[in-house]
């Protein structure tokens, strides 16, 4: 099968990679950010959110808060994304995502 190179590991790039890999394509994703993929959609620790223990944080979410009704296939796509025990890949700095 053909090899596909995707530039950008944001939500669209990672979704495209997942869909193509499911269909048997060899996929490589290149992302310029060395710390994470996902583009603007990510979770972060928010400093100063735990008054009881300054070493613990509450998570802050950045990205989609909801999926509009016209996103017809989102729930199906989310169900098909591999999790623990599947084809998940640990992504570290400067690692090629395949």
69-95 pLDDT, tens digit per residue, is 777 777 777 777 766 555 545 444 454
Pairing, β 26-30 against β 3-7 = parallel
Q: Which residue has the higher pLDDT, 24 or 45?
A: 24
**31-35 contacts: CB < 8 A, separation 24 or more?**
31/97, 33/9, 34/93, 34/94, 35/93
Kindly tell me if the per-residue pLDDT of 43 is higher than 50.
yes
Backbone angles phi, psi at 57, to 5 degrees: -130, 155
pLDDT of residue 12: 86
Q: Which residue has the higher pLDDT, 46 or 96?
A: 46
Domains and CATH numbers, the chain: 3-80 (3.50.50.60)
Kindly tell me if the per-residue pLDDT of 66 is higher than 70.
no
């Amino acid at each position: 099968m053909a090899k596909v190179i995707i530039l950008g590991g944001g939500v669209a790039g990672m979704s495209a990679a997942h869909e193509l890999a499911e269909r048997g394509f060899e996929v490589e994703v290149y992302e310029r950010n060395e710390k994470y993929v996902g583009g603007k959609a990510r979770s972060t620790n928010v400093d100063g959110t735990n008054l009881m223990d300054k070493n613990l944080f509450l998570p802050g979410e950045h990205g989609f808060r909801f999926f509009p009704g016209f996103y017809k296939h989102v729930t199906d796509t989310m169900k098909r994304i591999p999790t623990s025990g599947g084809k998940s890949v640990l992504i570290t700095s400067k690692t090629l995502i395949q």
